[in-house]
Structure 1
């Protein structure tokens, strides 16, 4: 059910300063921006690096794209995954955080509301 890595969340103190650094140094391009996030694209993938100023747990930074978070959480729970954070709405769809047997987060998201950019 996991389709790909959709985004990597990177906490920053200043969105504009961080975006300028990542675009200048790594040749990334801006895809979209809101009041707490800037998404940057890499040349040969549609995965995003999302610079953000949100208060997210420090270990919740890689998000895997699925078609439907609710369905994915149910399927993975049947297979033994623990749900750390139940599905919740985000601007582009839904998100949930599962946990592997070692306590590592497995963040899922869907784009049920629409992809940004």
Structure 2
């Protein structure tokens, strides 16, 4: 079962410049960062905006939280979703990308490794 939107992945070419822009213009606050991404928070939700420089499928922006990616992946595949990317490891757990019968990406992730350590940006 899809539990909630965990994050919205936003591709950028300049990670530092985008982080400055999104915090200054949209009032977001930095939660965490690594070499390829910066997680930002909004005041009324725990869903994150993740600015990133990774190569993802163009329509793979919204990532839904599930309890267990391998189990959800199998259930969704058996229910008629096509497989785009089978389960793989990410920093916080596992992720996979399926496709609904209408051609839309359904990106799922779990937090089986736990959330990232958050930090307050200066």
Fold conserved (TM > 0.5)?
yes
Helix, strand or coil at the partner of 1:39: strand
Structure 1 counterpart of 2:111: 111
Residue number in structure 1 paired with 2:4:
4
Please name the residue that 1:41 is paired with: 41
**1:61 partnered with 2:61:** yes
What is the rounded CA distance, in whole Å, between the counterparts of 1:53 and 1:77 in structure 2?
29
- 1:64, distance to aligned residue in structure 2 (A): 0.3
Matching of residues 51-90 of structure 1 within 5 Å: 51-90=51-90
Task: Give SS of 1:31's match.
Answer: strand
Residue 75 of structure 1: how far off its partner (Å): 1.4
Worse-superposed segment, 54-63 or 22-31: 54-63
Gaps of 5+ in 2: none
Superposition RMSD on alpha carbons, in Å?
A: 0.8
1:23 matched residue in structure 2: 23
Q: CA deviation at 1:55?
A: 1.4
Take 1:89 and 1:26, find their aligned partners in 2: how far apart are those partners? Answer: 31
Separation in 2, partners of 1:85, 1:55: 13
State the Cα distance separating 1:58 from its structure 2 match. 1.5
Unaligned runs of 5+ in 1: none
- 1: CA distance between counterparts of 2:8 and 2:89? 18
Following TM superposition, the consecutive aligned residue runs of length 4 or more in structure 1 with deviations greater than 3 angstroms are none
Match of 1:94 in 2: 94
